[in-house]
């Protein structure tokens, strides 16, 4: 059943086999899996059924460097289903090299092998509604078997694909199943303010809810799983200081440290010869009906040889914000920014400020240029609108994004790259108090010179390989590289590593089974437990990690 804790007369004490904090993809997956296995489960969610703007204030955090890291609430959702409510649906597995010991990134090490996660990927794909685990173009669709850029050699791999779910909002998609599960109780509007323990913090005993009216409810359980996302997981562990002043799992001052995001941005451009070569990097449907897309991947061999980090490049469209692109579709998207997801509208508003500073002129002239693009390109815009309505707005399985063919065949390159785990990149508790009496987080995201240099070097390695093919040319000028290096940008919604798993308590917050060092019965589900980030979006791997955790909990019961 699903109960709104604000409206239900909850008892002062609720007992269960397991309590899960956070009803996002990880929490929902774990709750359903263990309820199916006969467990009595309570799943608590701080937010309500739907998005609530006022509730977002509880996620607000102080950012040490606001120019480089987005506001704490911007890419997160305090609601049933968590941030999957605004998830783009991209599903990519981590690679074996992500789990290897890489001496050039000494803090980037897992206590488990790749196979320990990889064997759960097929089930994770099914949960995400992303089809089979076919990660090459040929496996996804035999008609895509021909290489996209033959002759690149081994440094740039072009035949791997990313797959896209509907995108699946876990709260909406699994709601009926959650409501009907006989041994599962879901409590919404039920924020947790303390993980409860016995024996001076050595053993979990449950969690304490602090309801919006101030009432406190204890959910007593011998096993507690924190599935609250990379920032809130660290915040709750640090705030749970009644048994230990430093918080739980923090005897070595590691909770919140090694905070990672993926590095992103435009870094270089690619020109296809002939221009139609771009079509091989457009979306296609797999044999099981899933949208897929190729990307340019820096091969593991090149990463080892050049001592680089994992990264990919994707041909993109010009920046929507700057009307100099003269594209009616892009200008229409920009002018409609206030009708899209708020966090992306805010991002475009910030980019507008930068673009106007570079171009000069007033806000009125800036918008007038966009309107001119729309009017001059009205027929092209009308054709796009019909296709977009059919394949995105009305479709259950939605076209993931806008990809536009450029007549000249030249496209900016979007980067997604791995950040080295850095001890001083961290989430901490500040002194400001939120409306529930909890200390707000401070986010101190760090990107090192080595991180930036690895991304630039990786683009140059991929460029050399692609340029050898004669079918495309990648260009990255020194000025472009410097401009990106001066202002590196993290992917806003990927919060990784703040409660990392490790072989010993001296190196991490939880062990190889995601159990907190020093407190038996408290476990971490989600990307907070990842020691490294890969380049891949974390959702698929956090689902796999959660399934692995579920199996461990069942076997250890």
Three state DSSP letters for 445-507: CCCCHHHHHHHHHHHHHHHHHHHHHCCEEEECCHHHHHHHHHCCEECCCCCECCCCECCCCCC
Reduce the DSSP state of residue 359 to 3 states and report it: helix
Write the CA distances from 297 to 165, 213, 294, 542, integer angstroms.
21, 51, 9, 21
Reduce the DSSP state of residue 413 to 3 states and report it: strand
Q: What percent of the chain lies above the pLDDT cut of 90?
A: 80
- Tell whether the model's pLDDT for residue 337 goes beyond 80: no
Q: What percent of the chain lies above the pLDDT cut of 70?
A: 95
Q: Which residues contact 341 (CB under 8 A, 6 or more apart)?
A: 86
Q: Any idea of the CA torsion for 355, 535, 138, 300, to the nearest 10 degrees?
A: 120
Contact criterion met (CB below 8 Å) for 82 and 171: yes
**What is residue 353's predicted lDDT score, i.e. its pLDDT?**
55
**What is residue 93's predicted lDDT score, i.e. its pLDDT?**
99
Contact criterion met (CB below 8 Å) for 311 and 455: yes
3-state helix, strand, coil in the chain (%, to 5): 35, 20, 45
**What is residue 334's predicted lDDT score, i.e. its pLDDT?**
83
**Domains of the chain as residue ranges with CATH:** 2-130+166-261+425-435+492-556 (3.50.50.60), 263-419+453-486 (no CATH)
Contact criterion met (CB below 8 Å) for 297 and 149: no
Tens-place pLDDT, residues 175-214 = 999 999 999 999 999 999 999 999 999 999 999 999 999 9
State CA 369 to chain mean position distance.
34
Q: Which residues contact 486 (CB under 8 A, 6 or more apart)?
A: none
List 515's β-bridge partners, or say none: 523
253 DSSP 8-state letter: S
Structure tokens at 347: 């991002």
DSSP H helical segments within 224-341, as ranges? Answer: 229-239, 300-306, 328-335
Tens-place pLDDT, residues 498-518 = 999 999 999 999 999 999 999
386 DSSP 8-state letter: H
**What is residue 63's predicted lDDT score, i.e. its pLDDT?**
93
99 DSSP 8-state letter: H
Mean pLDDT score, 459-469: 97
Contact criterion met (CB below 8 Å) for 253 and 260: no
Mean pLDDT score, 403-431: 95
Average pLDDT over the chain, rounded to an integer: 93
Cα gap 325→317, rounded to integer Å: 9
Selected residue with higher pLDDT from 80 and 353: 80
* pTM of the predicted model over 0.85: yes
Q: Which residues contact 272 (CB under 8 A, 6 or more apart)?
A: 278, 409, 410, 411, 471, 472
Tens-place pLDDT, residues 238-262 = 999 999 999 999 999 999 999 999 9
Tens-place pLDDT, residues 46-66 = 999 999 999 999 999 999 988
Structure tokens at 119: 């064997």
Provide the pairing of β-strand 224-226 with 522-524. Answer: parallel
**What is residue 396's predicted lDDT score, i.e. its pLDDT?**
86
Helices then strands, each counted (H, E), the chain: 16, 24
With bands split at pLDDT 50, 70 and 90, how would you rate the model's confidence at 493? confident
Residue with structure tokens 């995108």? 167
Selected residue with higher pLDDT from 69 and 163: 163
- Tell whether the model's pLDDT for residue 406 goes beyond 90: no
Q: Any idea of the CA torsion for 79, 83, 87, 92, to the nearest 10 degrees?
A: -140
Residues in the chain: 557
Reduce the DSSP state of residue 83 to 3 states and report it: helix
- Tell whether the model's pLDDT for residue 265 goes beyond 60: yes
Left (φ > 0), alpha (ψ -120 to 50) or beta: where does 409 sit? left
């Amino acid at each position: 059943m699903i109960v709104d804790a604000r409206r239900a007369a909850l008892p002062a004490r609720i007992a269960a086999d397991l309590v899960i904090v956070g009803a996002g993809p990880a929490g929902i997956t774990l709750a359903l899996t263990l309820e199916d296995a006969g467990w009595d489960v309570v799943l608590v969610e701080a937010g309500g059924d739907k998005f609530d703007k006022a509730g977002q204030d509880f996620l607000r955090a102080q950012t040490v460097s606001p120019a480089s890291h987005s506001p704490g609430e911007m890419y997160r959702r305090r609601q049933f289903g968590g941030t999957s409510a605004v998830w783009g649906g991209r599903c990519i597995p981590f690679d074996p090299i992500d789990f290897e010991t890489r001496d050039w990134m000494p803090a980037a090490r897992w206590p488990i092998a790749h196979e320990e996660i990889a064997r759960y990927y097929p089930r994770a794909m099914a949960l995400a509604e992303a089809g089979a685990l076919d990660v090459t173009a040929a496996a996804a669709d035999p008609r895509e078997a021909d290489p996209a850029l033959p002759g690149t050699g081994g440094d740039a791999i072009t035949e791997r694909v990313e797959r896209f779910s509907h995108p699946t909002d876990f709260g909406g998609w699994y709601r009926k199943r959650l409501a009907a599960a006989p041994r599962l109780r879901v409590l919404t509007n039920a924020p947790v303010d303390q993980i409860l323990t016995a024996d001076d913090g050595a053993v979990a005993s449950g969690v304490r809810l602090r309801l919006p009216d101030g009432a406190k409810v204890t959910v007593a359980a011998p096993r507690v799983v924190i599935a609250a996302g990379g920032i809130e997981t660290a915040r709750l562990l640090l705030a749970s200081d009644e048994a230990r002043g430093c918080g739980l799992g923090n005897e070595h001052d590691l909770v919140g440290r090694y905070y990672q995001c993926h590095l992103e941005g435009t870094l270089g451009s690619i020109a296809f010869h002939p221009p139609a070569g771009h079509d091989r990097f457009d979306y296609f449907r797999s044999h099981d009906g899933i949208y897929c897309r190729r990307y340019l991947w820096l091969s593991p061999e090149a990463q080892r040889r050049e001592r680089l980090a994992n990264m990919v490049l994707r041909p993109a469209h010009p920046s929507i914000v700057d009307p100099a692109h003269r594209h009616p579709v892009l200008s229409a998207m920009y002018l409609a920014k206030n009708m899209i997801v708020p966090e992306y509208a805010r991002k475009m508003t910030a980019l507008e400020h930068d673009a106007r500073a570079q171009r000069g002129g007033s806000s009125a002239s800036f918008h007038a240029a966009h309107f001119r693009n729309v009017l001059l390109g009205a027929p092209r815009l009308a054709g796009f609108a019909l296709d977009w309505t059919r394949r995105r707005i009305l479709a259950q399985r939605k076209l993931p994004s806008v990809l536009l063919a450029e007549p000249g065949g030249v496209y900016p390159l979007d980067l997604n790259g791995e950040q080295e785990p850095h001890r001083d990149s961290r989430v901490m508790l500040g002194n400001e108090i939120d409306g529930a009496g909890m200390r707000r987080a401070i986010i101190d995201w760090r990107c090192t010179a080595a991180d930036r240099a690895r991304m630039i070097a990786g683009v140059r390695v991929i460029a050399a390989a692609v340029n050898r093919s004669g079918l495309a040319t990648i260009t990255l000028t020194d000025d472009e590289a410097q401009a990106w290096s001066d202002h590196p940008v993290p992917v806003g919604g990927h919060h990784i590593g703040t409660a990392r798993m490790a072989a010993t308590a001296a190196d991490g917050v939880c062990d190889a089974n995601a159990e907190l060092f020093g407190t038996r019965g408290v476990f971490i589900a989600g990307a907070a437990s990842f020691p490294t980030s890969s380049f891949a979006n974390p959702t698929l791997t956090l689902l796999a990690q959660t399934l692995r955790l579920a199996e461990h909990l069942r076997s250890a019961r």
